[in-house]
Chains A and B, each alone.
Chain A
Amino acid sequence: MTLFLQTVLNGLVLGGIYSLAAVGFSLVFGVLGIVNLTHGIFVVAGAYGALLFFGQIGIDPLVAIIPIGLVLFAVGYVYQRTIIQWAVSRASLVASLVVTFGVAMMARNGLQLVFGPDVHTITPAYSFMSLTLGPLRMDVVRLVALGASLVLLVVLALVLARTHFGRAIRATAQQPLAAELSGLNVRNLHGLTFGLGAAMAGASGAIIGIVQPFTAASEVAWTLNAFIVVVLGGIGSPAGALVGGLLLGMINAFTAQYIGPSLTQAAMFLVLVLMLLVRPSGLLGNAFGESR
């Protein structure tokens, strides 16, 4: 029983991180219709950013989330308004798949060039503390990571639900023409949405940096994780990302504990295929519905 509870706890923590790492991908997919294969780069860039802030000037990764988010927001906005926008307007939405794949490849090699191929970790003072609750044990960093992820997800959900900016993003996702006719600058909103997605990915990267080792090559796994989370939970909403992320976290934790750590990937893909067969729109469906 203790083992079971401990596994659930591990799954929750992992799931919270997966959710945050995927929510930007989900938003971009839902609003712009773009499968952004550069997403994992934003995550890893966030982790490297946190590494720099921590290593060079000793700023805690959780504080570094703010500057990292701002920088990645700007990078994401410019990237969408230039390269992605060009590809989509000259060819098609599918072209963005090829373009983002290519950019991801270049960025991964660029990161390797700058930071080297070695595995990095970030170890703030609280890294080696742990809490015990009866027989259960949990590292403080992991709880902090889960908490920070949940806070950011809730903030994003509130922004989308309650603000004019959030309404504008949702409206643009559903009916771009009507959004334009309602006075919304759709191209600009697409850029802002992409920037927001990149910022959330960067924030998750800073958090991931304190709980897991990472390299430039980790970006592939984070893009893939985001994709699976979206398929499981549903496109476009923080709630969908949370559900999908927690599910993926649980699958991972339980497979590693009860079947074998080498089979986690296999289990993830098995569930992915099953979900696509049974409920292709994900558990919570597409937040923007059939209107696309």
Chain B
Amino acid sequence: MGAALSEQSQAGPTGETLLQVSGLAYDYSGVSAVSDCSLELPRGKITALIGGNGAGKTTSVKMIAGALRPRSGRIILDGQDITNIPAYQTVELGIALVPEGRLVFQHLTVCENLVLSGHVRRARERCQQNLERVFDLFPRLKERQGQNAGSLSGGEQQMLAIGRGLMTMPRILVLDEPSLGLSPILVSQVFSLVRKLNEEGISVLLVEQNVHHTLAIADYAYVLEKGRVVQKGEGQALLKNPNVKEAYLGLA
């Protein structure tokens, strides 16, 4: 049961790197938002992408998920070039982006929100089991399954957004600022949830401004600044890095 949403059953024989991103760049009507984003996502690990406001984190993950088409660069998933594949198809390949700001369908019920994304081809046959699995994970969502998503609290909406991603049985779960706007208790819950999902076999790309929490659970992390990756290293090591400390943790 625990592995119902993970990729263990379908993990390929290929190497350690599940997703390889190199030299991604994107302009918003002539203004460069991302100039050089390169990172590797090891299979079965938590990889973090951190950086301040406007560093280009959201733009980068939108490109990875196919919601934006990069100006240049390559995105390779398990040996397959997916650079120009649109978002509704990358979902079928196993990339689920839980977008910044949650973006739940406010006028659809909780259940409709989940079933909608559970209808993707790769997960359709297991829709019912996946729904039960998400309800096991988030009992609050089960209690409120008939309510409109707009009536949920911020934390519940975040659970719903994550649940919506899980319904597609992702190989890679990309979480864009899941702790944004949540109370400290809920923030801790979100991070332990991420860890739990990872332990069940889902590879995670975690985008966060909450650097402390993030580096504590990340196996590996990249620091994005002004649209390019400026530092990388193991989570614990970056946590002790003086530059990171000064820039993101407010410690000198």
Instruction: Report Cα–Cα, A185/B112, bound state, in Å.
Output: 17
What's the nearest-Cβ distance from chain B to residue A161, in Å?
10
* B105 adjacent to A170 (CB under 8 Å): yes
* B120 adjacent to A182 (CB under 8 Å): yes
- In the complex, B99 has a CB within 8 A of chain A: yes
Contacts of A182 in B (CB 8 A): 91, 116-117, 120, 164, 168
**In the complex with contacts A180-B67, A180-B86, A186-B88, A167-B116 CB distance below 8 A:** yes
Could you name 11 residue pairs across A and B whose Cβ atoms are closer than 8 Å?
Answer: A167-B116, A171-B108, A179-B105, A181-B87, A181-B96, A181-B97, A181-B117, A181-B165, A183-B117, A183-B120, A289-B106
A181-B65, A181-B97 given. 11 additional CB < 8 A pairs? A167-B108, A170-B107, A174-B105, A178-B104, A178-B105, A181-B91, A182-B91, A182-B117, A183-B88, A183-B121, A185-B88
**In the complex with contacts A167-B112, A178-B99, A289-B150, A183-B107 CB distance below 8 A:** no
Contacts of B164 in A (CB 8 A): 178, 182
* B107 adjacent to A291 (CB under 8 Å): yes
What's the nearest-Cβ distance from chain B to residue A153, in Å?
20
What's the nearest-Cβ distance from chain A to residue B93, in Å?
11
Instruction: Report Cα–Cα, A32/B97, bound state, in Å.
Output: 23
- What residue in chain B is nearest A184 (Cβ atoms)? B88
Instruction: Report Cα–Cα, A287/B150, bound state, in Å.
Output: 13
**In the complex with contacts A178-B99, A181-B91, A181-B96, A288-B107 CB distance below 8 A:** yes
Picked from B92, B105, B121, B165, the residue with its CB within 8 Å of the CB of A175 is: B105
* A168 adjacent to B116 (CB under 8 Å): yes
- In the complex, A164 has a CB within 8 A of chain B: yes
- What residue in chain B is nearest A289 (Cβ atoms)? B107
* A164 adjacent to B97 (CB under 8 Å): no
The contact string, 1 if C-beta is below 8 Å from chain B, for chain A 50-62, is: 0000000000000
- In the complex, A274 has a CB within 8 A of chain B: no
Within 8 A of B (CB), among A269-292: 287-289, 291
The contact string, 1 if C-beta is below 8 Å from chain B, for chain A 154-173, is: 00000000001001101100
- What residue in chain A is nearest B167 (Cβ atoms)? A182
- In the complex, A136 has a CB within 8 A of chain B: no
Give the contact-size bracket for chain A: 20 to 34
- In the complex, B216 has a CB within 8 A of chain A: no
Query: What 8 A-B pairs come out closest when comparing CB atoms?
Result: A182-B117, A183-B120, A178-B103, A183-B91, A180-B87, A171-B105, A175-B103, A185-B88
Instruction: Report Cα–Cα, A164/B119, bound state, in Å.
Output: 8
- In the complex, A3 has a CB within 8 A of chain B: no
- What residue in chain A is nearest B161 (Cβ atoms)? A178
Instruction: Report Cα–Cα, A45/B182, bound state, in Å.
Output: 54
Contacts of B115 in A (CB 8 A): 167
Picked from B99, B108, B112, B121, the residue with its CB within 8 Å of the CB of A181 is: B99
Instruction: Report Cα–Cα, A182/B169, bound state, in Å.
Output: 11
Instruction: Report Cα–Cα, A178/B91, bound state, in Å.
Output: 12
Instruction: Report Cα–Cα, A288/B86, bound state, in Å.
Output: 25
Instruction: Report Cα–Cα, A199/B86, bound state, in Å.
Output: 29
* A174 adjacent to B119 (CB under 8 Å): no
Contacts of A184 in B (CB 8 A): 88, 116
* A287 adjacent to B88 (CB under 8 Å): no
Contacts of A181 in B (CB 8 A): 65, 67, 87-88, 91, 96-97, 99, 103, 117, 165
Contacts of B116 in A (CB 8 A): 164, 167-168, 171, 182, 184
Instruction: Report Cα–Cα, A182/B99, bound state, in Å.
Output: 11
- What residue in chain A is nearest B100 (Cβ atoms)? A177
Instruction: Report Cα–Cα, A170/B105, bound state, in Å.
Output: 8
Contacts of A171 in B (CB 8 A): 105, 108, 112-113, 116
Contacts of A177 in B (CB 8 A): 67, 99, 103
Within 8 A of A (CB), among B84-132: 86-88, 91-92, 96-97, 99, 103-108, 112-113, 115-117, 119-121
Contacts of B165 in A (CB 8 A): 181
- What residue in chain A is nearest B107 (Cβ atoms)? A289
**In the complex with contacts A181-B67, A183-B119, A174-B107 CB distance below 8 A:** yes
Instruction: Report Cα–Cα, A181/B120, bound state, in Å.
Output: 10
* B150 adjacent to A183 (CB under 8 Å): no
Picked from B88, B96, B150, B168, the residue with its CB within 8 Å of the CB of A180 is: B88
Instruction: Report Cα–Cα, A181/B112, bound state, in Å.
Output: 15
Within 8 A of B (CB), among A176-200: 177-186
- What residue in chain A is nearest B149 (Cβ atoms)? A174
- What residue in chain A is nearest B112 (Cβ atoms)? A167
Instruction: Report Cα–Cα, A171/B113, bound state, in Å.
Output: 8
